[in-house]
Amino acid sequence: MLIWCTQMFTGRVPFPDDNHVIAMRKIVGGERPSRPSAAELGLSDELWAVIQTSLASEVEKRPTVSVFDDLLGRVGPETVLVTQREEIIHVSNDSVSYLTSKPIPNGKKLKKVAVTVVSKDQGWSDFRDDHGTYRGSWTWFGLSVGPPSAESGERWRGEVVRNLHAHLEFKEHTIEISDRGLYEKTESGDVLTVWAVAKFPGWRNTVKSVTVRHVVG
């Protein structure tokens, strides 16, 4: 239960910085992973309470399978879909499709979307005053939604986040999409596509990984 829930909502195993032996010692010793941040979608107060109950150290305090099934049934019908790609690519003066999500299931509506990117730009520029800021950054990520067939066109497209300007190290950004147009225009069967973009010669978007988490219900 612990591993399943942690991976579903964060894309990472419990205690990701520890090997499995250390992680097991922590769990046996009573330590538990902290609650994921609000940006890691779909983990409501009700579901978190169910998870906490199932992690009780005393066996007699944990819910039985039938009770657990009833608790989950009362949490609600929303589902979290996670799509992840980890592969370093370099994009220069171009826009490249990096990741396409799982389709929106039939009869479901898109409720929330969060995009996590790990990336950096070329690490230098002539505009020293902008180094380490988001000003004048010409590498970024976009998000589009539409049918799986490219010929059908897009229903919505927007910018997600820009890389830090002239930053040498990979940086992780997690952005929850708030534009209502995305949710109003998305239909069942649609997919979300993350685009890695670099504009102008000399600018390079180096992508390490992208994760899309979207809630449907």
Whether 35 and 131 map to the same domain: the answer is no
Whether 63 and 108 map to the same domain: the answer is no
Return all residues near 192 (Cβ < 8 A) that are at least 6 apart.
Answer: 83, 100, 101, 113, 143, 144, 145, 212, 214
Whether 70 and 95 map to the same domain: the answer is no
Whether 96 and 201 map to the same domain: the answer is yes
pTM over 0.75: no
Quickly list DSSP for 33-71: PPPPPTTSTT--HHHHHHHHHHT-SSGGGSPPHHHHHHH
**pLDDT on residue 72:** 60
Check: CB of residue 67 under 8 Å from CB of residue 74: no
11 secondary structure, DSSP code: S
Whether 89 and 24 map to the same domain: the answer is no
Whether 70 and 168 map to the same domain: the answer is no
Whether 177 and 111 map to the same domain: the answer is yes
Q: What is the CATH number of the domain that holds 205?
A: 2.60.120.1310
Check: CB of residue 137 under 8 Å from CB of residue 209: no
Whether 71 and 103 map to the same domain: the answer is no
Whether 24 and 85 map to the same domain: the answer is no
Q: What is the CATH number of the domain that holds 31?
A: 1.10.510.10
As for how many domains the chain has, the answer is 2
Whether 135 and 188 map to the same domain: the answer is yes
Which of 27, 50, 75 is the endpoint of a domain? 75
* Type and span of the H or E element at 112: strand 110-120
Whether 36 and 130 map to the same domain: the answer is no
Q: Strand 191-198 relative to strand 94-100: parallel, antiparallel, unpaired?
A: antiparallel
Whether 68 and 87 map to the same domain: the answer is no
Give the range of the structural domain holding residue 33, as residue numbers without chain letter.
2-75
10-residue stretch averages of pLDDT, the chain, 217 residues long = 59 74 81 66 67 76 72 64 95 97 91 96 97 97 92 91 97 95 96 97 97 90
Which of 58, 75, 92 is the endpoint of a domain? 75
Burial 147-162 (b: 16+ CB within 10 A, else e): eeeeeeeebbeeebbb
**CA pair distance 61, 81, nearest whole angstrom:** 30
Which of 75, 101, 124 is the endpoint of a domain? 75
